[in-house]
Amino acid sequence: MMSSEFFTTWFLPGIWVTVQVTVYAAALGAAISFGIGIARSSRYWIVRFLAGVYFEVFRGMSALVLMFWMFFALPLFGWQLVPMWAGVSALGLTYGAYGSEIVRGSLAAVTPAQKEAGIALNFTRLQRLRLIELPQAWPEMVPPFNNLLIELLKGTALVSVITVADMTFAGNLLRLGTNETTPIYTLLLVLYFVLAFLITRGMRLLERRAKAGIGQRPEKTGSITRKLGARGESLQAGSQSAGGMG
């Protein structure tokens, strides 16, 4: 059976490492999502094109293969990454690509009239994004981003393969030492499920707050833009991004 000593030296730190990897990769992924997502709705074709290339390459790539490549092949080009950061960057790059589709789709769902209103007010492109488009797209983005976060949490198990001591790594180590496979892997699955559950709960709060934000605007315009937005491109965008997640 699992000794308590093992539990404190490997398993508890492993849970912490899993949480850390999730948080860092989510932060990197979110930054990339917004950067690439906004770039993909740029009016300059070259910006759109380059962002599109990023999207296709990292969405088509397997996260595990990318991780292996960053850990084993990147040093060949003179760039050695600590296992943890190889893992975090591979996950962040992959999930940033999926996230950019969410950002692009929900920006596209903002009604044209809203954008035109911004132009009429002589807002700069940046002002329009910050004051009009992003605040309206935000409630549309939150639910798919939550799904993506659960996918990311599950993806973090991959870092164990490149020797990052997360909870899956601790489980494998324990299996090699004791051969008590049944309790080890059952515990692991339950731990991941609990973490996913906690994330879902926490994010539901955020979702409620994002929706509440809508109500603060004048009642009528708020509901009309939401309806139009939902009927427009957000349906298509939703179905596309849903399948992209691995």
Among 19, 41, 138, 154, binds other proteins (CB under 8 A): 154
Instruction: Please measure the distance between the N-terminal and C-terminal CA atoms of the chain and give it in whole angstroms.
Output: 34
**Contact pick of 2, 81, 161, 210 for other proteins (by CB under 8 A):** 161
56 binds other proteins (CB under 8 A): yes
Kindly state whether residue 17 participates in binding other proteins, applying the rule CB under 8 A: no
**Does residue 48 bind other proteins (CB under 8 A)?**
no
**Is 158 an interacting residue with respect to other proteins (CB under 8 A)?**
yes
Indicate whether 143 belongs to the interface with other proteins (CB under 8 A): no
Question: Going by C-beta distance under 8 Å and a sequence separation of 6 or more, which residues neighbour residue 41?
Answer: 48, 104, 107, 108
Pick from 4, 43, 45, 77: which binds other proteins (CB under 8 A)? Answer: 77
How many residues contact other proteins, by CB under 8 A?
A: 49
Decide: is 168 part of the binding site for other proteins (CB under 8 A).
Answer: yes
Is residue 181 a contact point for other proteins (CB under 8 A)? yes
Closer residue to other proteins (CB): 9 or 239: 239
Residue 51 interacts with other proteins (CB under 8 A): yes or no: no
193 makes contact with other proteins (CB under 8 A): yes
Smallest distance from the beta carbon of 33 to other proteins, in angstroms? Answer: 18
**DSSP per-residue letters across the chain:** ---HHHIIIIIHHHHHHHHHHHHHHHHHHHHHHHHHHHHTT-SSHHHHHHHHHHHHHHHHS-HHHHHHIIIIIGGGGT----HHHHHHHHHHHHHHHHHHHHHHHHHHTS-HHHHHHHHHTT--HHHIIIIIIHHHHHHHHHHHHHHHHHHHHHHGGGGGGGT--SHHHHHHHHHHHH--HHHHHHHHHHHHHHHHHHHHHHHHHHHHHHHHHHHTS-HHHHHHHHHHHHHTTHHHHHHHHHHH--
Q: Collect all residues with Cβ–Cβ distance below 8 Å to 231 and sequence separation of at least 6.
A: none
Q: Which of 186, 198, 209, 223 binds other proteins (CB under 8 A)?
A: 186
Least distance to other proteins from the beta carbon of 195, Å? Answer: 9
Q: Tokens 């730190």 appear where?
A: 13
Q: Does 172 bind other proteins (CB under 8 A)?
A: yes
Smaller CB separation from other proteins, 18 or 225: 18
Answer for which of 19, 47, 50, 64 binds other proteins (CB under 8 A) is 64
Please give the Cα distance from 19 to 164 (Å, whole number).
Answer: 12
User: Where on the chain is the footprint of other proteins (CB under 8 A)?
Assistant: 56-57, 59-66, 68-69, 72-73, 75-78, 150, 153-158, 160-161, 168, 171-172, 175, 181-182, 185-186, 188-189, 192-193, 196-197, 236, 239-240, 242-246
